[in-house]
Amino acid sequence: MLKIKDNEFTELVAFIHDNYGVDLRKKRALVEGRLGNYIPSLGYDSFGDYFAFAKNDKTGEELVTLLNRLTTNYTYFMREREHFDFYRNTILPWIDKELHTKDLRVWCAGCSTGQEPYTLVLLTLEYLGSAAAGWDHTILASDISDRALAVAKKGLYPKSDFHEMPPEWVKKYFVSYDENQYSVNDKLKKGLTFRRFNLLDKFSFKKQFQTIFCRNVMIYFDIPTKNTLINKYYDWLVPGGYLLIGHSESLSGCTHRFRYVMPSVYQK
């Protein structure tokens, strides 16, 4: 497996942090583990030569591939189920009965390959029932990776991704594609808008959100980057809005204005 030199590691870490906010300073073993065999497969014999190729790729695709290889996490439907229970039992009734609006404003930031936002659409439809036709319940799902978004838009997943989902929901919202895969039905697909988005960029939306899911994304960010992002989230939430982060994450050490609700759940 190819090893990374000190100067190559320093250059890579600085570039990824400055452009994507990801902090890899303590992830040298991860960098080598995820790229050490990949780089030689492309015909390069050093991290430096490969990195120069990635930066000069005018399509931008190789930088996306690089970022995916360094940050992609395993995900599946209903991962960290407590969040989905909270969304269904607390957030949706709050939007419906206290805000008295039929305009759902939910953002799944860092949606990866789509299992999380599709689950949110499913829960929304389950809650609304026959009233769904009278709501604008489209959820925004964004990610920096075009490749991840392509998988999400296609909506085709291995059946092993559904081990936490009740069988009646699988039957209702998914179609058996073959013996190993399920396909998302049209009802779920219509409930999502996908968008490529770098969380370091300026936020520009028509309205504030009632809820933002940003789970298992900020684990790669240093404290200053997290502070900036968290406060942007705060500004783009309506009063009383919720921010949900991953169970392995916390806002400890960050400067923010959120009220702690429960582990990994915060409120404006």
Q: Is the pLDDT of residue 52 over 70?
A: yes
Give the domain ranges of the chain.
6-71, 81-267
Give the CA distances from residue 224 to residues 95, 155, 200, 242, in Å, rounded to whole numbers and listed in that order: 32, 35, 12, 21
Give the CA distances from residue 205 to residues 51, 175, 200, 229, in Å, rounded to whole numbers and listed in that order: 34, 33, 15, 15
Mean pLDDT, range 53-82, rounded to an integer: 83
Query: Which pLDDT value is given to residue 202?
Result: 93
Exposed/middle/buried for residue 57 (C-beta within 10 Å: 0-12, 13-18, 19+): middle
Query: Which pLDDT value is given to residue 245?
Result: 96
Side-by-side strand order, sheet with 174-176: 156-158, 181-184, 174-176
pLDDT in tens, 145-185: 888 899 999 999 999 899 899 999 999 999 999 999 999 99
Q: How far is 61 from 174, CA to CA, in rounded Å?
A: 31
Query: Which pLDDT value is given to residue 60?
Result: 80
Mean pLDDT, range 69-74, rounded to an integer: 71
What average pLDDT is seen over the chain?
A: 93
- The CATH fold assigned to 6-71 is Chemotaxis Receptor Methyltransferase Cher; domain 1 (1.10.155)
Lowest mean pLDDT among 6-10, 70-74, 135-139, 150-154: 70-74
Cβ atoms of 35 and 213 closer than 8 Å:
no
Cβ atoms of 108 and 142 closer than 8 Å:
yes
Which residues are paired to 142 by β-bridges?
109, 195
Spell out the SS3 assignment of 200-219.
Answer: CCCCCCCCCEEEEEECCCHH
Query: Which pLDDT value is given to residue 76?
Result: 83
Query: Which pLDDT value is given to residue 187?
Result: 93
Closest listed residue to residue 221, CA positions, set 83, 66, 7, 26? 26
The CATH number of domain 81-267 is 3.40.50.150: yes
pLDDT in tens, 226-265: 999 999 999 999 999 999 999 888 898 899 999 999 999 9
Q: Is the pLDDT of residue 209 over 90?
A: yes
Q: Is the pLDDT of residue 68 over 80?
A: no
Closest listed residue to residue 199, CA positions, set 266, 140, 134? 140
Query: Which pLDDT value is given to residue 61?
Result: 80
Task: For the chain, report the end-to-end CA distance as a whole number of angstroms.
Answer: 47
Query: Which pLDDT value is given to residue 74?
Result: 65
Buried b (16+ CB within 10 A) or exposed e, 221-251: beeebbbebbebbbebbbeebbbbbbeebeb
Q: Is the pLDDT of residue 73 over 70?
A: no
Q: Is the pLDDT of residue 90 over 70?
A: yes
Q: Is the pLDDT of residue 72 over 70?
A: no
